[in-house]
Chain A
Amino acid sequence: DVKVTQSSRYLVKRTGEKVFLECVQDMDHENMFWYRQDPGLGLRLIYFSYDVKMKEKGDIPEGYSVSREKKERFSLILESASTNQTSMYLCASRPRSYNEQFFGPGTRLTVL
């Protein structure tokens, strides 16, 4: 089974802190994604990566950055957390030639 894991299920941070959300997949997938999920807005794509060290902006990249130094790991970074970044963050991966994405369990981030 494909497994996508996220470093934390719940996280509480203070405004202005630097926050790292980690995602690891164990199926050698080329593509990885970060979404945020908010009530009434569904899932919105923040960033994605289609190869190591490659990254592309999604629909709402402002206030976020990403890092992909190894194929299995994709990190989302909030350089200076703000209260409007309180949300559920979902990571996903997929192989290059297959269009189904596999999701992690999510990290619920609260910024106080």
Chain B
Amino acid sequence: GNSVTQMEGPVTLSEEAFLTINCTYTATGYPSLFWYVQYPGEGLQLLLKATKADDKGSNKGFEATYRKETTSFHLEKGSVQVSDSAVYFCALSEPPNYTGANSKLTFGKGITLSVRP
């Protein structure tokens, strides 16, 4: 079955530090890959996504590249801010079929990022 593995947390960084959060996956076929973010007290929001190999997703200064050869989708940001403090989830989904019955997301366990001023 499909699975997603995220690096262990939590992670604490100083403002303006470089961020890398590792994510690797196991899947059959050609899944789409996602990073979701959960700010304190809120639900999950899509941060970025990539739907095929070598695609780069980007949003709010975050980037991740779909690497099929290493089955990875690592999240990076060049300079983190206090407002980036949140829980980050890596996830994958198979391409939807007609009914959408295969539309499940498989999530990693999430990692808590704390950025101190």
* A positions within 8 Å CB-CB of B: 4, 30-31, 33, 40-45, 48, 50-51, 56, 58, 90, 92, 94, 96-106
22 pairs from A and B in contact (CB 8 Å cutoff): A4-B43, A31-B103, A33-B104, A42-B89, A42-B109, A43-B110, A44-B107, A45-B104, A45-B105, A48-B104, A58-B104, A92-B44, A94-B100, A94-B103, A96-B98, A99-B93, A99-B96, A99-B103, A100-B34, A101-B46, A103-B43, A105-B43
The 5 closest A-B pairs by CB, nearest first: A42-B109, A103-B43, A96-B100, A103-B44, A43-B107
* B49 is an interface residue with CB less than 8 A from chain A: yes
Tell me which residues across on chain B come within 8 A of A105, comparing CB atoms.
Answer: 42-43
- 7 new A-B pairs (CB below 8 Å) besides A33-B104, A101-B105, A104-B43? A31-B100, A92-B44, A97-B100, A98-B96, A99-B95, A100-B46, A103-B36
* B positions within 8 Å CB-CB of A: 32, 34, 36, 42-46, 49, 51, 89, 93-96, 98-101, 103-105, 107-110
Main secondary structure of the interface of B (DSSP, over half): loop
A100 to B96, alpha carbons, bound, how many Å? 10
A56 to B42, alpha carbons, bound, how many Å? 26
